[in-house]
Structure 1
Amino acid sequence: MLTVAYIGFGNSVTHYHLPYVEKKKEKIKVKYIYRREEDRIGDTERETWYPNYTFTSDIDTIMDDPEVNLIVINTPDAFHVDYSLLSLKKGKNVLCEKPFALTKKAAEEVFTLANEKGLIATANQNRRFDADFLTVKKVIDSGVLGDLVEIESHYDYFRPSIKENKRMGFLYGLAVHPLDQIISKFGIPIRTCLDCRSIDNPGISDDYYDIDLFYDNGFKATVKTSCYVKLDYPRFIVHGKKGSFLMPSLGHNSNKKYKPGPIVLAEENYPEELWGTLSYINDAGEDNYLKVPIESTDYGAIYENLIAAIEGKQEKIVKDIEVLKVLEIIEDGIAVAKEAKE
């Protein structure tokens, strides 16, 4: 049995963890949710939605409980490493929200301690299990596109108010996911090319990025975000030597509306107009054009892997080298953004 304590109680926990964990009660028990006392002021009603969990502001309560064997860290980014190290020192396995750390060096410190302790520490790169990305992987793995030439990953907005943003953060908050998706599928790139900057506040923000990752045989993956895109691009564009695949945007999670109370997972039934579009030439030389149904999101998959990894039955699905490479690219991107000029 995986017995879990969460550190933090923000949207990440209530939207992307608890609804999936609740479906696995035969394997996973949520025992605690730790919140700092100052974070609970005026916000205790939400705690009543989860009567089976113990809410506490005493960190030692969860760290000293021998039943707890996994700490899930969902705090602001600056506290990720400190809580990860504390948990490992207390003999707990760790699942940490993105970004796993703010520097590659700090992440290496966490992984080193985990290895010394014989524990699991990994990043919650849950976007590997997004419906759209799983659909793209299904098409690529089918082989109908032939040798891949390029893939573009777009996560765009139309937010002219971004001109008021005068701080770094987009690379850590957004790029971390599509970069991980690409690296999880295609591996560590041979080289990268980074255009990271701000349209309105160059040198001050990183709210525009266009990152190219180059692989063998001329294959290139592009990860891009802009806040000045009024008409949606496809979420993914994939071109191969035998065909192409377009995966539409399914909309931003931040735009979804929820009623008060625990998030209940609804069955995903995407209309056909949101299905992917596939066109390819088959081995007989015939032209094929079809719509591809969308796979189902499963953020609970990482917990299944954690259970097996802790029991020594599987390797971690999110590998240390992948986490470190993503952080390295982000650090390089921030350096480029800081150097940007008008």
Structure 2
Amino acid sequence: MLTVAYIGFGNSVCRYHLPYVKKREEFINVKYVYRREEDRVGDTERETWYPEIIFTSDIDVVMKDPEVNLVVVNTPNEFHVDYSMMALEHGKNVLCEKPFAMTADEARKVFDYAKEKGLIAMANQNRRYDSDMRTVRKVIESGVLGGLVELESHYDYYRPQIADSPRMAYLYGLAVHPLDQIIGEFGKPNKVVYDCRSVSNLGEADDYYDFDLFYDNPFKAIVKTSYYVKIDYPRFTVHGKKGSFIMPTLGHNSNAKQKPGPIEVSFDLLPEETWGTLSYIDENGKDVTMKVPTEATDYGIIYDNINDMLENNAEKLVKDEEVIAVLEIIEKGTQLAKEAK
């Protein structure tokens, strides 16, 4: 049984954790949410939506409760390492939001301490289980595309107003998701070619990036984000030696409006307009084109894995070396964005 305490109570907890945990009440009990007292001012109504959870502003209540065996860190990025180390020090397993740390060296420090304590510390790279990524994975694993040649991932917006607020934040806040999707699927690349900059504020922002991740010839993965894309690209385009797959963009789920009350999620089949298009040559030389049903998003798979690690000594889904590889790319990309002017 996982007895969980959340550190923080922002959008991530309410939208990407609790709804999926709710589907797994047979082995997950959410006991606490820790919030700083200043964060609760004017924002306590949401707490009433979860009467079964204890809300506290005393961190010692969480850390000293022997029932709590998993602390989930959902604070601003700069506090991830501090709270993760605190939880490990108190004998708690840790699931930490991404970016897991601000540097690869900090991440190594946390992982090493967890191993020393005989505990789990894992990054919540839940975007591996987005509906579009799960669908792409299903197609790739089917083998119908043959040997892969190229995969292109787009996570774009049209927000020209971004020019008025230059900041170095987008690689850590956004690129961490699609980079991990690629590295989680294919491993650490042999080489990375970087284009990290800002369209409107050279040297002052990192809101445009284009990473080319090279694997064994001929496969290359491209990860791109721009805030000046008015007409959507496909979310994923995959080309293999025997065929191609196009996954449409499904929109940005963080933009979905929240009604009062706990968010609910469904694993029902998604409508056909969300399905991908697959075209390939089969083993008989026949040209096949078909729609591929889109898988459901399920961020609770991360929790399934943690429970399986504790109960059955399973392997981590999000491996330490994958987290470190993503952070190394982001660190170098950030530096290049600062030097772009």
Conserved 8 A contact 2:267-2:297: no
Secondary structure of 2:78's counterpart equals helix
Look up the equivalent residue of 2:253 and give its one-letter code: N
Give the aligned partner of residue 176 of structure 1: 176
Look up the equivalent residue of 2:272 and give its one-letter code: E
Give the aligned partner of residue 217 of structure 2: 217
Runs of at least 5 residues in structure 1 that lack an aligned partner in the other structure: none
Cα distance per residue 1:7-58 (max 9 Å; x no partner): 0000100000001111111101000000000000000111011100000000
Cα distance per residue 1:173-225 (max 9 Å; x no partner): 11101111101111110010110000000101000000010000221000000
Secondary structure of 1:32's counterpart equals strand
Give the aligned partner of residue 119 of structure 2: 119
Distance 1:42 1:288 in 2: 57
Conserved 8 A contact 2:94-2:120: yes
Once the two structures are TM-superposed, the CA of residue 312 in structure 1 deviates from its matched residue by 4.5
Distance 2:151 2:317 in 1: 22
TM-score, L = length of structure 1 = 0.98
Give the aligned partner of residue 71 of structure 2: 71
Distance 2:7 2:197 in 1: 33
Cα distance per residue 1:114-171 (max 9 Å; x no partner): 0000000000000011100000011111111110000000000010101112110110
Once the two structures are TM-superposed, the CA of residue 254 in structure 1 deviates from its matched residue by 2.5
Secondary structure of 2:332's counterpart equals helix
Secondary structure of 2:23's counterpart equals helix
Look up the equivalent residue of 2:166 and give its one-letter code: K
Superposed CA RMSD in Å reads: 0.9
Q: Which moved more, 1:258-267 or 1:21-30?
A: 258-267
Runs of at least 5 residues in structure 2 that lack an aligned partner in the other structure: none
Conserved 8 A contact 1:80-1:101: yes
Once the two structures are TM-superposed, the CA of residue 310 in structure 1 deviates from its matched residue by 2.2
Distance 1:314 1:269 in 2: 29
Q: Which moved more, 1:148-157 or 1:277-286?
A: 277-286
Distance 1:293 1:301 in 2: 20
The 1:267–1:305 alpha-carbon spacing in structure 2 relative to 1, beyond 3 Å, is closer
Equivalences, count: 341
Distance 2:274 2:120 in 1: 38
Given the alignment of the two structures, is residue 82 of structure 1 paired with residue 82 of structure 2, yes or no? Answer: yes
Distance 1:169 1:153 in 2: 20
Matched-pair identity in %: 68
Secondary structure of 2:217's counterpart equals helix
Matching of residues 266-305 of structure 1 within 5 Å: 266-305=266-305
Cα distance per residue 1:75-94 (max 9 Å; x no partner): 00000000000000000000
Distance 1:68 1:254 in 2: 29
Conserved 8 A contact 2:234-2:247: yes
Distance 1:126 1:8 in 2: 17
Distance 1:285 1:121 in 2: 48
Conserved 8 A contact 1:119-1:310: no
Give the aligned partner of residue 129 of structure 1: 129
Distance 1:6 1:167 in 2: 28
Secondary structure of 1:311's counterpart equals helix
Give the aligned partner of residue 191 of structure 1: 191
Distance 1:82 1:221 in 2: 34
Secondary structure of 2:42's counterpart equals coil
Look up the equivalent residue of 1:70 and give its one-letter code: L
Distance 1:138 1:312 in 2: 26
Conserved 8 A contact 1:19-1:263: yes
Distance 1:194 1:217 in 2: 19
Matching of residues 1-342 of structure 1 within 5 Å: 1-341=1-341
Look up the equivalent residue of 1:201 and give its one-letter code: N
Conserved 8 A contact 2:130-2:299: yes
Once the two structures are TM-superposed, the CA of residue 284 in structure 1 deviates from its matched residue by 1.2
Conserved 8 A contact 2:149-2:240: yes
Once the two structures are TM-superposed, the CA of residue 269 in structure 1 deviates from its matched residue by 4.2
Conserved 8 A contact 2:150-2:219: yes
Secondary structure of 2:204's counterpart equals coil
